[in-house]
Structure 1
Amino acid sequence: MSDTTILHRLAETIESRKSAAADSSYVAKLFHGGQDKILKKIAEESAETLMASKDGDLDQVIYETADLWFHCLILLAHHGLKPDDVLRELERREGISGITEKASRTKE
C-alpha cells in the first residue's frame, strides 16, 4: 500500500509545470488557463465521481476520485499551497467530532 509520498511527488511535478509553456503539458495548459479553467476541471471531475458512485461502479469511483484529487492538487499549487497544508488540517481534525469541528469554525 502506498503512502502520502505519491502526493508529494505529484505536487513537485505539478509545481515544476507552473511556469512551463502551455503546449508542453496538460498541467501547464491548465495553469495558463487560470483559476477558472482549473475550477471547471474540478467541477467536471466531481460530477464524474458522483456519477460513478451513483452507478455503483467501484473501479470508476477509484479512477474518478484519482482524477479529482489530481486536479485538487493543481488548485492547491495555483494558490501556492502543498498537500501538507491539507494533511495538517486533517490531522488537526482527527479525533474531533464533525459536529464539534463545524461548530468551532469562526462565523462571518
Structure 2
Amino acid sequence: MSLAALAETIARRKGADPDKSWTARLLASPEMAAEKFGEEAVEAIIEAVKGDRDRLVSEAADVIYHLLVMCAVNDITLADIERELERRSAQSGLAEKAARDQKSRG
C-alpha cells in the first residue's frame, strides 16, 4: 500500500463508527491518537537500537500509520506534509535545521 492510499483510507474513516474501526476510534480521540503515535515511535527506536531489521520494518509501518492518523485528527493531510518536505528540499538540511532551531528560540 502506498502512503497516498493509506492516507486516503484514514480520511475515509473519519466519521465511521469507532466501535467498528480502530482508525475511527483513534480519529475520535486526539489524545489517544497522539499517545499511540508516541508508543509506536518508542517501539521503533527500541528495535533500531536492537538492530532487528524485520521488527524495525514492522514498527516503522506502525509509526507511519499512527503519524498519518494523528495528523488527520488535526486536519493535516499527506499533501500538506509533502509540500513542507518540498519546501525544505530547496535548502541544505543543515541550513534548514538551523533556521528551525533559531525560529523555536526566538
State TM-score, norm by structure 1. 0.85
5+ residue gaps, structure 1:
none
Distance in 2 of aligned mates of 1:14 and 1:64: 18
Deviation sequence 1:23-69 (CA, Å, 0-9, x none)? 1111011122x111011101110111001111100111111011000
Aligned twin of 2:65: 70
5+ residue gaps, structure 2:
none
1:92 is aligned to 2:77: no
Amino acid at match of 1:39: A
Q: Name the Cα RMSD after superposition.
A: 1.6
Distance in 2 of aligned mates of 1:45 and 1:103: 28
Deviation sequence 1:68-100 (CA, Å, 0-9, x none)? 000011011111121111111112222522221
1:28 is aligned to 2:45: no
Aligned twin of 2:8: 12
Name the count of aligned residue pairs.
103
Distance in 2 of aligned mates of 1:14 and 1:95: 30
State TM-score, norm by structure 2. 0.87
